[in-house]
Amino acid sequence: MEKKIRNWETLGTLRIGASITIGTHVLPGIIKEMQLIFPDLTIEAVIKNSTAIEQHILDNGVDIGLIETVPEQENMVYDPFMEDFLCAIVSPSHPLSKRDHITLTEIADYDLLMREKGSAGREILEGYFSMEQLSVHPLWESTSTQAIVKGVSSGIGVAVLPYLLVAKDIAEGIIKQVPINPRLKRNFNIIYHRSKYLTSTMNVFMDLCKTHGREA
């Protein structure tokens, strides 16, 4: 029986939920490593915003979630595994493109392009604005990061997005990064339901996430 249980864990299915940033830039590498360790394991992935991933955990739609915020639900266990930061982006021709840094107070004075409500980046950014007692209303609001990048590159306004999502566009010169002072850091978190039975494959997956975070 013990042998069958062990085989079931390595031959079964691991269901992972990840937020947009993590699912796009972090998860593929971790899944590749998992497949090398467990070639017969089926790994299913759902990529949605952090709020949706939390709901999938509650509904038992996924086994483990990787999100960019601290979970709101009390019956969730969370464990930080990687650090990221938010950065301001502007058009290369924008007046701010020549600045060495910018503050949140200054950013609030410009037309803002923001992700939709419920996205981790939006919630974290609004939290920082709230701490500075700043009230902002986006000129543009989109579920698409690339739509926001296109808008910024066209000179429509300023956006504050996770660095991992826009690093390629910055490197290609499509947009310009303006460092925010002080730096807006956030943690990526592993989450699972408090009553979830953790299999050996789940524990290996979480260990790989932490290793990836240390090496990033």
Residue 8 CA to chain centroid, in angstroms? 31
3-state SS class at 112: strand
Amino acid letter for position 175: I
* Cα–Cα distance measured from residue 112 to residue 141, given in angstroms and rounded to the nearest whole number: 9
According to the model, what pLDDT value does residue 47 have? 95
Q: What are the C-alpha distances in Å from 97 to residues 17, 102, 191? A: 36, 10, 38
- The string of pLDDT tens digits covering residues 155-187 is 999 999 989 889 999 999 999 999 999 999 889
pTM of the model: 0.77
Q: What is the mean pLDDT of residues 123-128?
A: 89
pLDDT computed for residue 119 by the predictor: 78
CB-based contact 65:53 (threshold 8 Å): yes
Segment 85-94 mean pLDDT: 94
Better-predicted residue by pLDDT, 166 or 215: 166
**Residue 11 has what pLDDT?**
62
* pLDDT tens digits for range 28-46: 999 999 999 999 899 999 9
Q: Token pair for residue 69?
A: 């915020």
At 42 the three-state DSSP class reads strand
Residue 1's pLDDT is 41
Distance set, CA 20 to CA 51, 126, 130 (Å): 11, 18, 24
- Give the pLDDT confidence of 186-213 residue by residue, as tens digits: 899 999 999 999 998 999 999 999 999 9
pLDDT for 2 equals 46
Helix (H, G, I), strand (E, B) or coil at 185: strand
